[in-house]
Amino acid sequence: MPTFSQLPSGKWRAQVRKAGLYRAATFTTKREARDWATTIEAQANHVAAGGFAPVPKASTVKDLIEAYQKEVTKAQGKTKAATLEMLKRNIGAVKLAGLNSVVLRDFIDRRQKDGAGGVTIAGDLSFLSTILKWARHSRNLDVPDRLALDARAGLKYRGLNTRSNEREREPTDEELRRIFEHWNTKTRQKIPMETLVRFALATGMRQAEICRIQVEDVDRDRQTVIIRDRKDPNDKAGNDQTVPLLPDAWAILCKVIEGRTEGFVFPYKESSVSASFTRACKDLRPPIIDLHFHDLRHRATAQFFRMGLGIPQVSLLTGHKTWTMLKRYTAIKPEDVHAAIRKPASPAPDHAGQKGDDRGDTSAPTVWPHTTGE
């Protein structure tokens, strides 16, 4: 039972001791003290029965999302931030105690009506699931943490495909030749796109990773570089990886950082690099259709396997944590198995092969002057 005592100031102090829980607070009137004590005692009974605290009656989904955003301070990507804002707009007003499968059913209906596909809706529910799990296991609130996961699993019964189509697009040698020739005619081109593309093909790095590496993180003795905050499905913040640079990549990097001791290796905006690559594909006649900078990573990864590297070595280069994540980039064909027995291939295109590959050009790669990016 709660106890109440009137202080010399005339205010009332309430104390609750139950199931190992102790709470105390001071109120202006005894009625306020009783109401508070009743609520706290009910919460203590709830915790004693199930181990979790009941959600506050007035708390909404929006309140929970904002509490999560405030406490979980690690960097959030644009997609996650935008999705959380969308969730607040769509179901933020729902009382947390009333969050159930019907609410999520209606949410999915609205998302479909707005044109969202299965992959997008599955992502929405995954982010909501993360927040519900945080509430239950970090804040010990009695919320249905599997609710969003169950709704996500049910998408297939709506006929929605929750897996994105895996791209198999790789640039051909002829496409790369045309793109390089196009850039060579652009005398006012600020970004050394040919060098960036050759470096991407020789390393398998993502566009953002290339634009983020720093001279200070290059180890000239070991021929390695540290990639800071490398993309990770769980948490990329602090996920720094030291990766080896193969001969072509090292030859390019040495020329780019010659005489430099600090700063970004390629001081150009990721968005500018992407725009320049896409613009080149469109400007060509005939244009190159459906080719993205990220497709260079597909080609590089597949070529790593074609040259005979094993899964552990390739995953070290690309940063993939599991074979499931890595295999979509392999694009290995039956003839590649026969070729691997005869002779390892180069991970770079013709005229940009690894040193010692007699099928490629062994001359030094083209490196543009160090300039300021767009």
d(CA 361, CA 364): 8
Q: Is the pLDDT of residue 7 over 80?
A: yes
**Amino acid identity, position 150:** D
DSSP state of 320: -
Query: For domain 61-158, is the CATH number 1.10.287?
Result: no
Cα within 13 Å of Cα(225), Cβ side: 28
Percent of the residues in the chain that have a pLDDT greater than 70, as a whole number: 81
| In the chain, alpha helices (H) | 30-50, 61-71, 78-91, 101-113, 118-137, 147-153, 173-184, 193-203, 207-212, 247-256, 270-283, 295-306, 311-318, 323-327, 334-342
Q: Is 132 exposed, middle or buried (0-12, 13-18, 19+ CB in 10 A)?
A: buried
SS3 243: strand
Tokens read off for 321: 């944590």
Residue 370 gets the label, from left (phi > 0), alpha (psi -120 to 50) or beta, of beta
Give the number of other CB atoms < 10 A from CB of residue 370: 16
Give the number of other CB atoms < 10 A from CB of residue 281: 19
Q: Is the pLDDT of residue 244 over 60?
A: yes
Least confident of 26-35, 71-80, 98-107: 71-80
Least confident of 116-120, 186-190, 300-304: 186-190
Q: Which has more confidence, 166 or 101?
A: 101
Task: Supply the pTM of this predicted model.
Answer: 0.61
d(CA 164, CA 46): 42
Tokens read off for 359: 């099928």
For residue 23, the cross-strand partners are: 16
Domain ranges of the chain: 3-50, 61-158, 173-342
Average pLDDT over residues 104-110: 96
Query: pLDDT tens digit string along 266-289?
Result: 999 999 999 999 999 999 999 999
> Confidence class of residue 262 from pLDDT cuts 50, 70 and 90?
very high
For residue 21, the cross-strand partners are: 18
d(CA 67, CA 158): 32
d(CA 167, CA 293): 13
d(CA 221, CA 250): 11
**What pLDDT is stored for residue 129 in this prediction?**
95
Average pLDDT over residues 84-100: 94
Q: Is the pLDDT of residue 9 over 80?
A: yes
Q: Is the pLDDT of residue 214 over 70?
A: yes
**What pLDDT is stored for residue 46 in this prediction?**
60
d(CA 267, CA 270): 9
Sign, CA dihedral 112-117-120-121, equals: positive
Query: pLDDT tens digit string along 113-171?
Result: 999 999 999 999 999 999 999 998 888 888 888 999 999 999 999 999 887 666 778 89
**What pLDDT is stored for residue 338 in this prediction?**
73
**What pLDDT is stored for residue 354 in this prediction?**
52
**What pLDDT is stored for residue 19 in this prediction?**
61
Query: pLDDT tens digit string along 350-362?
Result: 444 454 444 334 3
Q: Is the pLDDT of residue 29 over 80?
A: yes
**CATH code of the region 173-342:** 1.10.443.10
Q: Are 280 and 197 in contact (CB under 8 A)?
A: no
Q: Is the pLDDT of residue 90 over 70?
A: yes
**What pLDDT is stored for residue 279 in this prediction?**
94
